[in-house]
Structures are given as structure tokens and as C-alpha cells.
């Protein structure tokens, strides 16, 4: 089943709404803004509804089925989060409203900053970063500002293990540092000898993901932190995998200086097409003055026990500045606030425990059928290899595509890069055992098919609206199908009008 | 699975090859690397005249699977880049040791060549990775 583009449904003169009579004085638009054509589809309301309902049924989402996309923490997004975000007082709040008229929103942000600091054992937090990578960028700018503030200008390098998230080296480069890649040892941990050699007075800090992208808890963590601190560097924790550690380990308490969160992973705000990200950044006392701002703060203490304090915007003393227009992705902030408030400390700890339990259960069920490169207790996710010596020609991609035939979302494939034919599986805590067992059954069936009838895998998927796409063509030939964007630069009249 | 390994080339652990002719050299990625990367869709090359140290990242090769950095096998200055790869990056897949070359350099420190693997050592190295 395919669905045409909405532009292909268009018929000249057709209209979906009846506009009311004009009841205000008519004012002409500026000359430079006028045009004769308007490239919008002309369709009726029922066509629009059917078009988008059909598309939504072709889509795959966490509300439809299991989504073990490693590294992405595709947990179920509770509907109560959506209720909270749609409360009229929050959904209708203008971002430029006066502080005294946004006390509720400011109070939520203030408390969320405090909770996020507490969960990871830090002193403070800014909710500004719009996603994980911007959180990384913010953390790195703070590390940079910290060293420069001390008058230390030779620290230009950031160390990154080769099991890091791909965004880490990109953020390092964006922040003006040089990324130095560290090898992993045979167990998938940081190679301590290589770290020792790399540590000198040009090291600004180290970025590390815990658990790593292999799903492994770094066993050398105390030594790693000590080595980096000893040479004067700061420790950045990529908190993308915090779903494995809430209530179990506080990075701030074991020596990390800064970390970001992904609210859209750990704290159940929608992502993967469902909403923007949010990457708050939490820091210890050292970096507190450098937080991106303004952040929510108490500007006047409460006058009595039953009174609320006055909240307002506060700029940290040596702030690296503003990272985002307005106040971060506020809709995500409300959802994460709701999620934390509902779960409480005990609930969040249970979230992490079940996330780790589910991953280890899947690993235990799959290890006889698939190669596990680093077979030990995993965190909230693990990596297997999607190939067999006695099934030549079958690759991880074929397994992923075949999973779609069974109505399941594939795991992350070909990441991390250090594992050949990697399939990275993260079940999350929200899946019941029945779902996990069904997934194991399918994975074993596919392994059998790979040996007995590999063509089934090569030609998969068979039941999806679109079969196997030509990825080479898709990557090389960027064909956009909508009408070209008008060349606004030619409309000089407008510029003159505004000047 | 280690693919074709020409005897006259030297190799790095990150799968670049280098062909030395006097003080000049040509650099590309090995047959094994292109096979692992799968269909290559984009190659980012440096500017002519750029100077790099051994191990520096000088380019990026992007396939449908992943984007990987290219590392300098030895220190040197870029004297030419294979502009044909811009339109036809798949040449790296079809002819990794020939038309799929990446850059030409002048060597800054020829003694660094001694630290690279010859064809036999590289073949053994790849066996260990299987």
C-alpha cells in the first residue's frame, strides 16, 4: 500500500475550510511580499484527514511495537506526560511573558534543575541545551572557559575512547578542541596505558560515555578519573546512557565534573520524529559559574512557610552565555518534570534496574545463537555480531531488514564501529517479558533462516510498504520532490521596506 | 576475506595504503577497508598544500554504513587530490589501489615508512582481526 504525496492530491480551486467574512480593516501587504503563486496543495478536509491517518498507519512507533534501537532508549512515553504538557496554563504560556506571570513554569524549571543535579550528584544544572549534542557542546565550552579563566591557555586536547558516541568528537571539534582517540583494551574498556601516555598539560579534559556504547560499565573508571584529574583535565560524562544508572551511581560523586542528560531518552520525552530533544547539562562546584544561562533561580526567598518564593531568571556569574532562544525545549522540560515527579527516587532506581535486567535477560537468551564480542554483564544495552562464518553473505543489515517482516523495529546496526557487523540492542525497562521472549524467538528464527534460506534475508523486508531501499542512490542523489523555494534574495523591495 | 593486497604497497593499522615513488607517495584505502565499509557514497579530501603529521586525519570516507576518518600513514604535504572521487566515490570500491586513490603527498620524513606494515605483515594483521 502506498500513499501519494499531498501535492499529488491537489486540485485547483478545492478548499478545505470556509473563511469567515473579514471583520477588521483591510491593509495591503508590503509590495515586496506579494506574489501570484502560492505553492500549497488544494485539498478538502476529508482528503487531509485520510492522507495523514493512512501515513500514520504506515509508520512504526513505540506505541505500535517493540523498538530495541540501541543507544536511543526508545522507552514508552507515558501519556500523562502529554496531559501535563497540554495544560492550558503551560501550553499557552508565551515565552516572553513577564517573570511574575510565569511563576509556575519557572518553579517547574527550578525544581527540575535541582532534581537533575541531585540524580547525578552535581551542584547545578542548566536546561538550555536543545539536545544531547548541544549539551556536550555546552559542557566543552564550560571546560574551555574554566581553563581560560585560570589563565591556562595550553589545554587544547580532549581525550575520547573509541567506544564513544559519534557526537563526542564532533562536539569537541565544534568547541575548538582537538579530539584525541583512545583505543579500547581487549575487554572493551579504556586502554589505561594509552591513557597514561596521552595525559599531559595540553589535555583540557576527557569525554567518556558510561556505560559505553558497547553497553559495558567501564571497570577502570576510578583510575581513568584519577589520571585525567592528575594532569589537570576535567572529566565529562556523556549521560546519554543514564538510563542504566539512576539511583545506582552518581557520576558527580565519583569525580566527574560535568555531564549532560538526554531528557528524550532517560526521562521518556518523545523522540525519533515525535518531538525535539532536550540535553540539560549538570556541573559540579568548579563549573557552576560557567553554566549556560539564564537559568531559573529564586530571586526572593519565601516570606513564610506557606508562601512560594519569587522565581526569576538568573545569569551565572561567568556564564558561557545563551545557547538557545527562549528557555530550552520547554515542552520536554514539562514532560521530564512529570516523569520524575511520578516515579520519585525509588521509581527511578527501579527504572534503571529493570532496564539493566531486561538487557541482561535478552543477552542471556541470544548468546548461544549470536557472537557476543564482549560477553560480560551489560548495562541497559549490549552489542552482538550479525554474521556467521557458516552463513557467508549474510550481514547485520539483512538481519535488521528481516526483523521488519516480523513486525519488529530493527536494533541499531553498524554502531559502535569497533564491532564488526554490530547489532546494538536496548530493550528498555518498559517492555514486559512476553515481548522480550517474542523478540528472542524471532532472532533465533532469523539465525536459522540465515543458514537455511539466506535469500529470505537478502530480499527482506517483504511486508513493509517500501521494500529494501537503494541506500547508495538515496545517499548520493538528493532529490527533493516539493516545489523549489523562491529566491527571496531577488526581492530587494522587501529589504528596502524593512530598512 | 582480507581481499587483494598488492606486494608493492605499505599499510597502516587503520587500513590506509601508501605507494612510495622516490620522495612522492600516493595514499588510499585497502581492498579490505572498502569491503568493510560497503558502498562508498562520499569522500571528503583535503586542500592541496595542506601539511599533516603521521596519524593526522586528512579526509573522511562515508559509506551507507558509516563515516570514517582517513589517517596519514606518514607525515607530508598534499600535492594532489583525486577530484574524480567527488563525482564517483564508488571508484574506491571498484578500484581501491588504482583509480580510487585519495591523495598524493611529498614525504616530510621518509624514515617513518619503516614503521608501516608490508603486504605480508598486513595480511597477517587482517587474519588476526577476523
pLDDT digits (tens, 9 = 90+) for A316-353: 999 999 999 999 999 999 999 999 999 999 999 999 99
State the pLDDT at residue A497.
Answer: 46
- Distance to chain B for A476, nearest Cα, Å: 6
- Distance to chain A for B67, nearest Cα, Å: 9
CA angle B97, B100, B106 (to 5 degrees): 75
- Distance to chain A for B83, nearest Cα, Å: 16
Q: Which residues of B touch A472 (CB under 8 A)?
A: 39, 41, 64, 90
The answer to whether the CB atoms of A417 and B68 lie below 8 A apart is: yes
Interface mutation target, options A476, A477, A478, chain B, most CBs of B under 10 Å: A476
Looking at the predicted structure, is the pLDDT value of residue A151 above 50?
Answer: yes
pLDDT average, residue stretch A52-58: 92
Report which secondary-structure segment, H or E, holds A346.
helix A330-366
CB contacts < 8 A, A to B, total: 21
The answer to whether the CB atoms of A472 and B36 lie below 8 A apart is: no
Residue A90: partners with Cβ closer than 8 Å, 6 or more residues away: A84, A104, A105, A330, A334
User: pLDDT class for A381, splitting at 50, 70, 90?
Assistant: very high
The C-alpha cell at B43 is: 569522500
Domains of chain A as residue ranges with CATH: 6-53 (no CATH), 81-343 (3.40.640.10), 345-476 (3.90.1150.10)
Looking at the predicted structure, is the pLDDT value of residue A499 above 50?
Answer: no
Identify residues of A whose CB sits under 8 angstroms from chain B CBs: 397, 413-415, 417, 420, 471-472, 475-476
The answer to whether the CB atoms of A472 and B41 lie below 8 A apart is: yes
pLDDT digits (tens, 9 = 90+) for A212-255: 989 999 999 999 999 999 999 999 999 999 999 999 999 999 99
- d(Cα A52, Cα A20) in Å, to the nearest integer? 26
User: pLDDT class for A484, splitting at 50, 70, 90?
Assistant: low
User: pLDDT class for A415, splitting at 50, 70, 90?
Assistant: confident
The C-alpha cell at B7 is: 606486494
User: How is A50-103 classified by DSSP, letter by letter?
Assistant: HHHHHHHHH---TTTS---BTTS------HHHHHHHT-HHHHT--TTS-GGG-H
State the pLDDT at residue A496.
Answer: 47
State the pLDDT at residue B14.
Answer: 92
Q: Give me the long-range contacts of A387-396 (CB less than 8 A, separation at least 24).
A: A387/A420, A387/A421, A388/A447, A388/A450, A388/A451, A390/A451, A391/A450, A391/A451, A391/A454, A393/A454, A393/A458, A394/A450, A394/A454, A394/A457, A394/A458, A395/A421, A396/A421, A396/A422, A396/A423
Nearest CA in chain A to B36: A420
User: pLDDT class for A53, splitting at 50, 70, 90?
Assistant: very high
User: pLDDT class for B53, splitting at 50, 70, 90?
Assistant: very high
State the pLDDT at residue B130.
Answer: 64
ipTM of the modeled complex: 0.73
Looking at the predicted structure, is the pLDDT value of residue A2 above 90?
Answer: no
Interface mutation target, options B39, B42, B52, B62, chain A, most CBs of A under 10 Å: B39
Domains of chain B as residue ranges with CATH: 10-108 (2.40.50.100)
pLDDT average, residue stretch A169-176: 95
Report which secondary-structure segment, H or E, holds B127.
helix B119-129
The answer to whether the CB atoms of B64 and A471 lie below 8 A apart is: yes
Identify residues of B whose CB sits under 8 angstroms from chain A CBs: 36, 39, 41-42, 62, 64-66, 68, 89-90
Nearest to B41 among A413, A414, A476 (CB): A476
The answer to whether the CB atoms of A414 and B68 lie below 8 A apart is: no
State the pLDDT at residue A492.
Answer: 52
State the pLDDT at residue B67.
Answer: 84
The answer to whether the CB atoms of B41 and A415 lie below 8 A apart is: no
Least confident range from A12-26, A63-77, A116-130: namely A12-26
pTM of the entire structure? 0.87
Interface mutation target, options B52, B61, B66, chain A, most CBs of A under 10 Å: B66
Q: Which residues of B touch A415 (CB under 8 A)?
A: 66
Q: Which residues of A touch B65 (CB under 8 A)?
A: 397, 413-414
Nearest to B39 among A413, A414, A472 (CB): A472
Q: Which residues of A touch B39 (CB under 8 A)?
A: 471-472
Give me the percent of chain B exceeding a pLDDT of 90.
85
The C-alpha cell at A400 is: 535488521
- d(Cα A144, Cα A330) in Å, to the nearest integer? 27
The answer to whether the CB atoms of B64 and A472 lie below 8 A apart is: yes
Looking at the predicted structure, is the pLDDT value of residue B54 above 50?
Answer: yes
Looking at the predicted structure, is the pLDDT value of residue A275 above 70?
Answer: yes
The answer to whether the CB atoms of B39 and A420 lie below 8 A apart is: no
- d(Cα A147, Cα A142) in Å, to the nearest integer? 9
pLDDT average, residue stretch A280-296: 98
Q: Tell me the β-bridge partners of B51.
A: B77
The answer to whether the CB atoms of A476 and B42 lie below 8 A apart is: yes
Amino acid at each position: 500500500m502506498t500513499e501519494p504525496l499531498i501535492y499529488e492530491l491537489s486540485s485547483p480551486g478545492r478548499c478545505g475550510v470556509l473563511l469567515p467574512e473579514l471583520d477588521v480593516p483591510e491593509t495591503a501587504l508590503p509590495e515586496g511580499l506579494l506574489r501570484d503563486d502560492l505553492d500549497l496543495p488544494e485539498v478538502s478536509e476529508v482528503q487531509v484527514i485520510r492522507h495523514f491517518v493512512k501515513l500514520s498507519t504506515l509508520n512504526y512507533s513505540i506505541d505500535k511495537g517493540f523498538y530495541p534501537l540501541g543507544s536511543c532508549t526508545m522507552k514508552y512515553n507515558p501519556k500523562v506526560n502529554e496531559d501535563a504538557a497540554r495544560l492550558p496554563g503551560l501550553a499557552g504560556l508565551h515565552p516572553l511573558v513577564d517573570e511574575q506571570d510565569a511563576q509556575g513554569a519557572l518553579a517547574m524549571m527550578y525544581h527540575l534543575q535541582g532534581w537533575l543535579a541531585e540524580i547525578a550528584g552535581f551542584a547545578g544544572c542548566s536546561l538550555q541545551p536543545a539536545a544531547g549534542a548541544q549539551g556536550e557542546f555546552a559542557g566543552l565550552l564550560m571546560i574551555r572557559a574554566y581553563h581560560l579563566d585560570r589563565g591556562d591557555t595550553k589545554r587544547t586536547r580532549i581525550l575520547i575512547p573509541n567506544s564513544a558516541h559519534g557526537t563526542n568528537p564532533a562536539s569537541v571539534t565544534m568547541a575548538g578542541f582537538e579530539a584525541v582517540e583512545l583505543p579500547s583494551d581487549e575487554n572493551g574498556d579504556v586502554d589505561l596505558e594509552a591513557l597514561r601516555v596521552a595525559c599531559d598539560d595540553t589535555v583540557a579534559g576527557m569525554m567518556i560515555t558510561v556505560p559505553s556504547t558497547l553497553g559495558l560499565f567501564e571497570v577502570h573508571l576510578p583510575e581513568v578519573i584519577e589520571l585525567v584529574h592528575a594532569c589537570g583535565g576535567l572529566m565529562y560524562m556523556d549521560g546519554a546512557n543514564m538510563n542504566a544508572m539512576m539511583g545506582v551511581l552518581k557520576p558527580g560523586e565519583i569525580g566527574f565534573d560535568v555531564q549532560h542528560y538526554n531528557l528524550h531518552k532517560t526521562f521518556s520525552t518523545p523522540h525519533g520524529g515525535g518531538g525535539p530533544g532536550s540535553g540539560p547539562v549538570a556541573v559540579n562546584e568548579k563549573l557552576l559559574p560557567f553554566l549556560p544561562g539564564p537559568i531559573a533561580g529564586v530571586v526572593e526567598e519565601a516570606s513564610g512557610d506557606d508562601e512560594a518564593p519569587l522565581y526569576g531568571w538568573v545569569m551565572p556569574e561567568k556564564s558561557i552565555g545563551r545557547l538557545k532562544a527562549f528557555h530550552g525545549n520547554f515542552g520536554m522540560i514539562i514532560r521530564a518534570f512529570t516523569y520524575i515527579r511520578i516515579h520519585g527516587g525509588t521509581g527511578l532506581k527501579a527504572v534503571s534496574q529493570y532496564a539493566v535486567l531486561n538487557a541482561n535477560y535478552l543477552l542471556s537468551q541470544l548468546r548461544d545463537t549470536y557472537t557476543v564480542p564482549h560477553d560480560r554483564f551489560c548495562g541497559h544495552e549490549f552489542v552482538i555480531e550479525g554474521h556467521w562464518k557458516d552463513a557467508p553473505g549474510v550481514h547485520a543489515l539483512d538481519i535488521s531488514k528481516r526483523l521488519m517482516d516480523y513486525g519488529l523495529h530493527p536494533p541499531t546496526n553498524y554502531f559502535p564501529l569497533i564491532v564488526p557487523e554490530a547489532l546494538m540492542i536496548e530493550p528498555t525497562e518498559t517492555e514486559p517479558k512476553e515481548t522480550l521472549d517474542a523478540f528472542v524467538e524471532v532472532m533465533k528464527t532469523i539465525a536459522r533462516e540465515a543458514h537455511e534460506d539466506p535469500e529470505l534475508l537478502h530480499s527482506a523486508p517483504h511486508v513493509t510498504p517500501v521494500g529494501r531501499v537503494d541506500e547508495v542512490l538515496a545517499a548520493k542523489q538528493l532529490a527533493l520532490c516539493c516545489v523549489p523555494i523562491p529566491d527571496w534574495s531577488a526581492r530587494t523591495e522587501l529589504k528596502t521596506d524593512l530598512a | 576475506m582480507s581481499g587483494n593486497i598488492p606486494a608493492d604497497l605499505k599499510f597502516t593499522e587503520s587500513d590506509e595504503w601508501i605507494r612510495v615513488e622516490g620522495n612522492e607517495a600516493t595514499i588510499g584505502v585497502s581492498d579490505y577497508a572498502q569491503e568493510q565499509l560497503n558502498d562508498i557514497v562520499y569522500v571528503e579530501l583535503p586542500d592541496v598544500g595542506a601539511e599533516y603529521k603521521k596519524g593526522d586525519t586528512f579526509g573522511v570516507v562515508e559509506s551507507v554504513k558509516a563515516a570514517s576518518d582517513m589517517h596519514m600513514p606518514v607525515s607530508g604535504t598534499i600535492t594532489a587530490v583525486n577530484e574524480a572521487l567527488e563525482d564517483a566515490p564508488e571508484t574506491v570500491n571498484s578500484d581501491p589501489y588504482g583509480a580510487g586513490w585519495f591523495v598524493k603527498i611529498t614525504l616530510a620524513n621518509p624514515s617513518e615508512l619503516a614503521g608501516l606494515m608490508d603486504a605480508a605483515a598486513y595480511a597477517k594483521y587482517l587474519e588476526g582481526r577476523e
